[in-house]
Amino acid sequence: MDIFNKIKSSMGPLGQYIREIDDYIAFPKLEGEISTKMKFKGKECLVWSLNNYLGLANHPEVRKADSDAAAKWGMAYPMGARMMSGQTKYHQQLEKEFADFEQKEAAFLLNFGYQGMVSIIDSLLDRKDVVVYDAQAHACIIDGLRMHIGKRFVYPHNDIQKCEQMLEKATKIVEQTGGGILVITEGVFGMSGDQGKLKEIVNLKKKFNFRFLIDDAHGLGTMGKTGMGTGEEQGVQDGIDIYFATFAKSMAGIGAFVASDKYVVDYLRYNMRSQTYAKSLPMPMVIGALKRLELLKSHPEYKEKLYTIVNALQSGLRERGFNIGNTQSPVTPVYLSGEVAEAHNIAVDLRENYGIFCSIVGYPVVPKGVIIIRLIPTAIHTLEDVKFTLDAFSEVKGKLDNKYYLTNFVKHGLV
């Protein structure tokens, strides 16, 4: 049997819609400078789908730092993995600055958040250890756990009572195996925008013996007084044993880091396969990240501006009767009821007729009958952008309620 045969008959849960969604909903091309106004299929759109929370992606100082570093070092430098020939003082400086910022003893740079998290989990755990994790954990956590050959227990999203029950089960198992327990959750959940219950979980340390790892991809730069993250926001940074965040959101770059006690970071430096067997982050990414971190720390007004937009958008949506769930962060999901075809048609209508570009998810990413339009406010949006979007959403909701997207809507040429 040719393994390609099965691909011909089944393209996978999302791939089955390739003809309907490719080059439009999936793999769309946004063109022009990264901003709140970009071109989609030749038309200017107001963009609400970039995780450019603090507006650093196209910040002149960031652009200059990136291009100066590329001109000076090229993209190849340094050659080799960190452990072999890819070490530089700039990589070490960035690690020191992240460690200080996160109030941890040490930090280690990772080439990608996704791979980094998979590898952290893989390197920390053995068959005797047990993991307790949130059901809505990001794919990088789930995929890391696929490599774990010991037991794991999932608890329903943010359900601390169930988390406690899982800790009881885990404790019984490690008493037999002699292993340890790792609890994993997120600082801010990227789809729903609610925060992980870090405080409650840290509190469970009084009853159970475990280590706590968080993925704070959406919390770094957006949460806490100084932007340190969700640990700072909830006053429990000390109780987080391993802090992880990516550069893909507020840092508007590529790469990630993990911060912890020095002996833990030393262990990770020598044992994480994603770093040992992969080339070091190129110099422009590292020098560019130093500049981004400097701006993140020294310009609290970017975060303030972000929240002016967040508050206007979220309160405006609520006032107009939209269900935005329990978001406690800039991530703004708008929950609607409808079928996949309706979700698709809403996206088309918003893009073609209102000039609004946002991400839409329907089944199979979320349960059948649920549509989520996810908006990501940033520090560079304006209150006029918010007003324009609220008006458009009210019209779209009216059409959805009247079944317009099932019956009258003239589908885009793709479908």
Ligand X SMILES: Cc1ncc(COP(=O)(O)O)c(C=O)c1O
CB-based closest residue to ligand X: 113
Taken as a whole, the chain contains a residue count of 415
* Beta pairing class for 43-47 and 130-134: unpaired
- The CB-of-76 to ligand X minimum distance in angstroms stands at 21
Angle formed by the axes of helices 383-401 and 300-319, to 10°?
Answer: 30
Q: How is residue 57 written in tokens?
A: 């992606």
Which residue, among 38, 66, 5, has the nearest Cα to 247 in the 3D structure?
66
| Complex with ligand X: residue 98 or 393, whichever CB lies closer | 98
Provide CB contacts within 8 A for 207, sequence distance 6+.
Answer: 164, 167
What is d(CA 142, CA 227) in angstroms, rounded to the nearest whole number? 26
| Complex with ligand X: residue 217 or 252, whichever CB lies closer | 217
For residue 190, which phi and psi values (nearest 5 degrees)? Answer: -70, -20
What is d(CA 306, CA 377) in angstroms, rounded to the nearest whole number? 7
| Complex with ligand X: residue 328 or 382, whichever CB lies closer | 328
Q: Which amino acid is at 331?
A: V
CB atoms within 10 A of CB 152: 19
Angle 225-226-230 (CA atoms, 0-180°, nearest 5)?
70
Site residues, ligand X (CB under 6 A)? 112-114, 117, 138, 140, 186, 190, 215, 217, 246, 248, 256
Which residue, among 243, 151, 312, has the nearest Cα to 232 in the 3D structure?
243
- Asked if residues 256 and 120 have their Cβ atoms less than 8 Å apart, the reply is no
What is d(CA 102, CA 98) in angstroms, rounded to the nearest whole number? 6
Task: Using the Cα atoms of residue 232, residue 235, residue 238 and residue 239 in order, give the sign of their dihedral.
Answer: negative
> What letter does residue 254 receive in the DSSP assignment?
S
| Complex with ligand X: residue 124 or 396, whichever CB lies closer | 124
- Asked if residues 290 and 98 have their Cβ atoms less than 8 Å apart, the reply is no
- The CB-of-290 to ligand X minimum distance in angstroms stands at 17
235 phi-psi bin (left φ>0, alpha ψ -120 to 50, beta other): left
| Complex with ligand X: residue 82 or 138, whichever CB lies closer | 138
| Complex with ligand X: residue 94 or 346, whichever CB lies closer | 94
| Complex with ligand X: residue 118 or 174, whichever CB lies closer | 118
- The CB-of-186 to ligand X minimum distance in angstroms stands at 6
- The CB-of-19 to ligand X minimum distance in angstroms stands at 27
- The CB-of-217 to ligand X minimum distance in angstroms stands at 3
- The CB-of-123 to ligand X minimum distance in angstroms stands at 17
| Complex with ligand X: residue 138 or 351, whichever CB lies closer | 138
- The CB-of-216 to ligand X minimum distance in angstroms stands at 8
| Complex with ligand X: residue 253 or 362, whichever CB lies closer | 253
- The CB-of-229 to ligand X minimum distance in angstroms stands at 12
- The CB-of-245 to ligand X minimum distance in angstroms stands at 8
